[in-house]
Amino acid sequence: MNDVTFLNPGFFWLFALLPLAIGWYIWKRKQQTASLTIPTVNGFKAAPSLLAKLKPVLFGLRLLALSCIIVALARPRSVDVSSKSHTTSGIDIVMAVDVSGSMLAKDLKPNRMEALKNVAEEFVGNRPNDRIGVVVYAGESYTKTPVTSDKELVKQAIKSIAYDDQVLEDGTGIGVGLATAVNRLKESKAKSRVIILLTDGVNNNGQIDPRAAADIAKHYGIKVYTIGIGTNGKAMFPYAKDAVTGKFQYRMMDVQIDEALMKQIAKTTDGTYFRATSNSRLKEIYEQINKLEKTEIEEQKFYNYDEKFRPWVWAALGLLLAEVIARKTLYRSFI
């Protein structure tokens, strides 16, 4: 009965009448018993027959029949729900991620890059109906994964993001990163196209001016949300590698983010600029973007009901028929 629901559960209140019926039966039975006063009953002593003892079973059959009728009136049924949905206003999103050496700074835990990867993966999981791509950039840029609906592929691409000075020229080329992201979206047929551009520094490399890249995004109707990641003041930055161990060495340095540029890019493309100064703030920013960019979903649900009241009706009829047959046969001579 775990999957069964009742169309008319109000009929279950009728069960409250059953105790009254039992009380009425007991009272009427006492009234139907004739009394006779005699000096002694020794001559009448005899064990009551089995049929006489079982006569109350007839009333029990009637109670069970009434119970079955009440359940049938409540209309038990199971339901199988199937749904069909399709996206009516899909969104294509490209995350452009700064992977320069400064992203290893430890003002976010364990560092900026790892903090971003954790939040970005969660963001992807919250966008099941959208296509997402990943672009990484430092002094140069390339597409980590094109815009795709395969969320596991996107998550794996995010997990594999790492600083590698052997692959990309170090530095911060915001313009080339944004231009590459625009290039991934310009042919998109989606009704809404969005870039989430993240950096922790100042544009100091690349062949493309970030403002020109923003104008191109505007031309194609692409909205850019910009995020500056890093605390206010100073942070532990990597500045060199140990010659023996190959591990990064850190020291306190000033945090420098070109917020004016990031705000201008966002304004040009009708987006928004955010500043992430902590892990929690970074998470909040991606949650805000998730709420701002809603995907419209049209869902149709189909309900298939399997009525369960018929067995209860047949059970009630069977019990009533059993009572009638017993009264007309075995108990016909009983008062």
The arithmetic mean of pLDDT across residues 124-141, rounded, is 93
Quote the pLDDT of residue 43. 54
Domain boundaries, the chain: 4-32+49-80+302-328, 91-294
The arithmetic mean of pLDDT across residues 202-212, rounded, is 91
Across the strands, what pairs with 115? none
Q: Is the peptide bond before 110 cis (omega within 30 degrees of 0)?
A: yes
Res. 37: pLDDT tops 70: no
Across the strands, what pairs with 249? 240
Q: Across the chain, what does the average pLDDT equal?
A: 86
Quote the pLDDT of residue 157. 96
Nearest to 142, CA basis, from 115, 121, 122, 160 = 160
**Percent of the chain at pLDDT exceeding 70:** 85
Does the domain formed by 91-294 have CATH 3.40.50.410?
yes
Quote the pLDDT of residue 294. 77
Res. 7: pLDDT tops 90: no
**What amino acid is encoded at 229 in this protein?**
I
Res. 251: pLDDT tops 70: yes
Reduce the DSSP state of residue 236 to 3 states and report it.
Answer: strand
Nearest to 98, CA basis, from 131, 144, 132, 130 = 144
The arithmetic mean of pLDDT across residues 8-36, rounded, is 77
Quote the pLDDT of residue 2. 60
Beta-carbon contacts of 291 under 8 Å, excluding residues fewer than 6 positions away, are none
More confidently predicted of 195 and 327: 195
The arithmetic mean of pLDDT across residues 206-226, rounded, is 95
Sign of CA dihedral 117, 119, 120, 121: positive
More confidently predicted of 62 and 334: 62
